[in-house]
Amino acid sequence: MKILMVCLGNICRSPLAEGILQHKANAAGFNWEVNSAGTGNYHIGEAPHILSQKVALMHGIDISQHKARQFVANDMLIYDLIYAMDNDNYKAIAQISKKNFDAQKTELIMNVLFPNTHTEVPDPWFGTEPDFIKVYQMLDAATDAIIEKYSNK
């Protein structure tokens, strides 16, 4: 299964989501490929935010090698599941995907844990370390729910 995590810049939230879920999938023995992308083009080619790298490393996850890239319409065809961090990201995914958009495979990541609540993973770009820790905790819980959901199948 191929899974894509999507935020705005692909430097704060989605690289963390990618790293956490790939780590858990590997530990569970799942043959999953987890990637991430941003709907914006501001940070293409950059490494994850230093605080995303730090909170990941606190949990033994190294995301330092990731390079930011922008979401493209073809991603909608390549990936089996696409998880958006917030409602704006979800709308941007639909706009970029155009005719390729498939609502069946696209979901707000927190909806896996709290169905239909449209809870957002807050953008920590202007925040400090506690904001990144909060993002980590939300993604940790959501990725547990993803692993559990697909463990039962």
Catalytic (active-site) positions: 7, 13, 123
Q: Tell me: does residue 42 bind ligand 4NP (CB under 6 A).
A: yes
Closest CA to 72 of 60, 58, 62, 82: 82
Site for ligand 4NP in 11-30 (CB under 6 A): 11-13
In the list 18, 75, 120, 123, the residue contacting ligand 4NP (rule: CB under 6 A) is: 123
Site for ligand 4NP in 75-104 (CB under 6 A): none
Closest CA to 24 of 50, 44, 5: 5
Kindly state the smallest distance separating residue 39's Cβ from ligand 4NP, in Å: 8
Residue nearest ligand 4NP, CB atom distance: 9
In the list 3, 5, 10, 34, the residue contacting ligand 4NP (rule: CB under 6 A) is: 10
Q: Give kind and range of the element (H or E) at residue 113.
A: helix 109-113
Q: Tell me: does residue 61 bind ligand 4NP (CB under 6 A).
A: no
3-state DSSP assignment of residue 136 = helix
In the list 3, 4, 5, 8, the residue contacting ligand 4NP (rule: CB under 6 A) is: 8
C-alpha distances in Å from residue 117, one per residue of 86, 108, 113, 132, 136: 12, 9, 9, 22, 19
Strand order in the sheet with 81-84: 33-38, 2-7, 81-84, 106-108
Kindly state the smallest distance separating residue 97's Cβ from ligand 4NP, in Å: 18
Tokens matching residue 9 = 């810049």
Contact residues for ligand 4NP (CB under 6 A)? 7-13, 38, 42-43, 123, 125
